[in-house]
């Protein structure tokens, strides 16, 4: 198949427009602009996300079949990069295992754990945290939440630099959402499978496997052969985040 090349003047004009209007990108590209992001801790995942990281001040959805099985293992590397700003866990499915957040004093995570029993209390708390802006991250677990509520939370998040995740059941993929990024997360024997359902820019239907070097559900009898057969860095955690995976709940 013959590849078409733009004339030099048209290529120059395209680059000029892209530099002048960073919020505009071609359909074949990932979005690229000046929006702030934070490193996910996973090299392969960064390469699939606009601006190479989790977006700050935006609604991100993590869809998972069973709460508490993989979402915090996915997010922990980023939570440890928040310069000790508190991380709010709102209506988590289990009592947080505090020691897992304090393993390394240099990367210790300060927790704000909010249990609550009423759906309305969860939403009110989420709004107050986003309005206040003092937390580095907000993780909200919700089995059912209306699209208009998500839209309101998204608008509040945009006025902050909070890393904001809503964790929902997998079947929520069939419902509309204002989230700029939606990810389906599936725990696997030696890591996690990621399916990017929505992102700013070109779509990607291919699953992404993230290998975790110390997966909490594997014994040393299983993990040692995996360590010998899997490369040190390209597919999974960045080097500084290897050896740091643990059971969170």
Cβ–Cβ < 8 Å for 16, 6 = no
Per-residue pLDDT at 91? 94
What whole-number percentage of the chain has pLDDT above 70? Answer: 68
**Whole-number pLDDT of residue 8:** 59
pLDDT score for 161: 95
- Mean of all residue pLDDT scores within the chain: 80
Query: How many domains is the chain built from?
Result: 1
Question: Is residue 13 one of the residues assigned to a domain?
Answer: no
Digit-coded pLDDT (tens) for 88-118: 999 999 888 776 666 655 566 788 899 888 9
Residue 227 pLDDT:
43
Q: Is residue 249 part of a domain?
A: no
Most confidently modeled range among 4-8, 21-25, 31-35, 226-230: 31-35
Query: What CATH number does the domain containing 62 carry?
Result: 3.40.50.300
Q: What mean pLDDT comes out for the span 79-87?
A: 91
What local confidence, expressed as pLDDT, does residue 203 receive?
A: 82
The values of phi and psi at residue 184, to 5°, are: -95, 125
Domain assignment present for residue 1? The answer is no
Q: Is 63 a domain residue?
A: yes
d(CA 82, CA 99): 18
In a domain, 233, yes or no: yes
Whole-number pLDDT of residue 154: 98
Q: CA nearest 113: which of 135, 131, 95?
A: 95
pLDDT for position 11: 62
The pLDDT value given to residue 129: 96
Q: Is residue 205 situated within a structural domain?
A: yes
In-domain check, residue 25: no
**In this structure, how many other beta carbons lie within 10 angstroms of the beta carbon of residue 225?**
10
In a domain, 174, yes or no: yes
**What's the pLDDT band for 242 if we cut at 50, 70, 90?**
very low
Q: Which domain holds residue 156?
A: 35-241
Q: What was the pLDDT predicted at 117?
A: 83
Look at residue 141 in the predicted model and tell me its pLDDT.
97
């Amino acid at each position: 198949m013959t590849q078409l090349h733009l004339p030099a003047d048209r290529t120059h004009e395209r680059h000029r427009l892209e530099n002048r209007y960073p919020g505009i990108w071609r359909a074949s590209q990932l979005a690229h602009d000046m929006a702030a992001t934070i490193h996910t801790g996973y090299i392969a995942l960064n390469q699939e996300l606009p601006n190479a990281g989790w977006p700050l001040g935006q609604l991100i959805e993590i869809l998972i079949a069973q709460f508490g099985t993989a979402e915090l293992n996915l997010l922990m590397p980023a939570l440890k990069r928040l310069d000790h700003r508190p991380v709010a866990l709102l209506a988590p499915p289990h009592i947080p295992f505090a020691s897992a957040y304090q393993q390394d004093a240099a990367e210790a995570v300060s927790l704000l754990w909010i249990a609550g029993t009423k759906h309305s209390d969860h939403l009110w708390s989420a709004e107050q945290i986003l309005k206040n802006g003092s937390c580095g991250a907000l993780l909200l677990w919700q089995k059912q939440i209306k699209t208009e509520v998500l839209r309101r939370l998204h608008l509040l998040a945009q006025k902050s630099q909070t890393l904001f995740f809503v964790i929902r059941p997998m079947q929520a993929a069939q419902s509309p959402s204002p989230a700029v990024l939606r990810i389906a997360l599936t725990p696997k024997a030696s890591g996690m499978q990621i399916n990017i359902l929505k992102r700013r820019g070109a779509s990607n239907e291919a699953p992404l496997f993230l290998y975790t070097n110390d997966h909490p559900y594997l014994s040393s009898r299983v993990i040692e052969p995996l360590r010998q057969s899997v490369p040190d860095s390209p597919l999974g955690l960045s080097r500084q985040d290897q050896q740091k995976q643990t059971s969170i709940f």
